[in-house]
Amino acid sequence: MTETGYRCSPNVARIFQNREPEEFLELFDTGIVILAPPDGGDIAPPPPPMPSGDKMGSAHLEEQQPGLSAGKSDAISPKTESAMRFWRRMFHIRGASETLSRTHEVPCECSSLNSTDAFVVQETTSKFFIWYGALCSKIERTRAARAAVHIYSNLTEREDEEEEEEEIDLDRVFITVHEGKEPDRFWEAVGGKGNYTKFEASDTDQIANERLQNPILFEITLNRHYLMPRPILDYTSEDLHDSGVYMLDLHMWLFVWIGRRASERLVDGSMELAKAVVADRKGSKVVAVQAGKEPPEFTHAFLGWHEVRPFCDPYAKRAEKLAELGVVGRVLDVVPEDVQILREKRCKKEKKYRMNLTTGASTHYM
């Protein structure tokens, strides 16, 4: 509060998503969970896990609603139908500290996983998997467990309202899964086993492990013929601009992201700088990434990755639309007769005014 005379006026601060300051995040003990948009947005909600002919799936459906697995579609209660909206959801947890940790909902599929972070997979309204990657930090493990309890308690619509009054049976609701030791039911919850971004922890190079857990993004700019790398803290995919060049440092990989409108001089200088950085690193390599063709190893470093849209000049777009309508050509080629007469009169007045200035005559000019 700010004191103004005898009154107190509050200071209002505008906070944007993924730009929350630490003072704001400290207000939430369980952290912030960013859900997918109601209309789906970039996340396509997968269908509920209802495999036909699968014993585990049939048992699971029988547990949710008796008679459903036997093919009785009319046995679905309104509460069960509403609860099915919360089946098969995945949440990505990342953070460098207890406070600066965020949870984003991502597509519930195997390709969303990566070895450096923790994930919460909600199979049903009462069954959660907490998946720990091989390089997941202790902070992310703690935050993942808290996020799972928070999602179960506050962001899930359960069929039996009496469950809210009972104490949570952690062993029944939450199952801890470590990378490489996943049960078959976990892979069924994420739509089947497949490929995802895997990293192996180094036994000798601790710096490489820390850099994989916490990558660093640099913006490369030209200032008086010198390259200026600027680190971006708490970066997101929104920091990538279509006219810039950026370096993402994962120690073993140094990605050089090149925008569609980046200058050739900036690109060449950034590539030379990247090669100089990895010269003293054993086993590191430089990878050039074109905008719109990012590999999974690059996108996994961004929490809630969104594709960088190409820059669209509004004036050029408007000119194209006018050209399609034929407005531009008509204005330039065909001048109305009355407009032409007005132009000629204006030119005669200007010419007469200039002549009077040279002769010294005083003539009122309109």
Secondary-structure class of domain 206-299 per CATH? alpha beta
Q: What is the pLDDT of residue 274?
A: 94
Q: How many CB atoms lie within 10 A of CB 103?
A: 28
What b-and-e string marks burial along 133-171, b requiring 16 or more CB atoms within 10 Å of the CB? bbbbbebbbebbbbbbbbbbeeebebbeeebeeeeeeee
- Lookup: tokens for 168: 């949570």
CB 48 within 8 A of CB 88: yes
Q: What is the pLDDT of residue 206?
A: 74
Return phi, psi of residue 26, to 5°: -65, -15
Q: How many CB atoms lie within 10 A of CB 15?
A: 10
Considering only CA atoms, give the Rg of the chain.
30
Q: What is the pLDDT of residue 132?
A: 95
Q: d(Cα 65, Cα 31) in Å, to the nearest integer? A: 33
Q: What is the pLDDT of residue 44?
A: 44
- The CATH code that applies to domain 15-189 is 3.40.20.10
Q: What is the pTM of this model?
A: 0.68
Q: What is the pLDDT of residue 4?
A: 46
> Do strands 216-223 and 226-232 pair parallel, antiparallel, or not at all (unpaired)?
antiparallel
- Where do the structural domains in the chain lie, given as residue ranges? 15-189, 206-299, 314-359
> Do strands 89-95 and 216-223 pair parallel, antiparallel, or not at all (unpaired)?
unpaired
Q: What is the pLDDT of residue 68?
A: 42
Splitting the chain (366 residues) into consecutive groups of 10 residues, what average pLDDT does each group show?
55 83 84 75 46 41 43 51 70 84 89 92 90 91 90 68 55 89 93 88 72 89 88 89 93 92 93 92 90 91 82 74 67 57 80 72 46
The one-letter amino acid at 27: L
Q: What is the pLDDT of residue 324?
A: 79
HSE-CB for 322 with a 13 A CA cutoff? 12
206-299 shares the fold of 15-189: yes
Q: What is the pLDDT of residue 338?
A: 65
Q: How many CB atoms lie within 10 A of CB 36?
A: 17
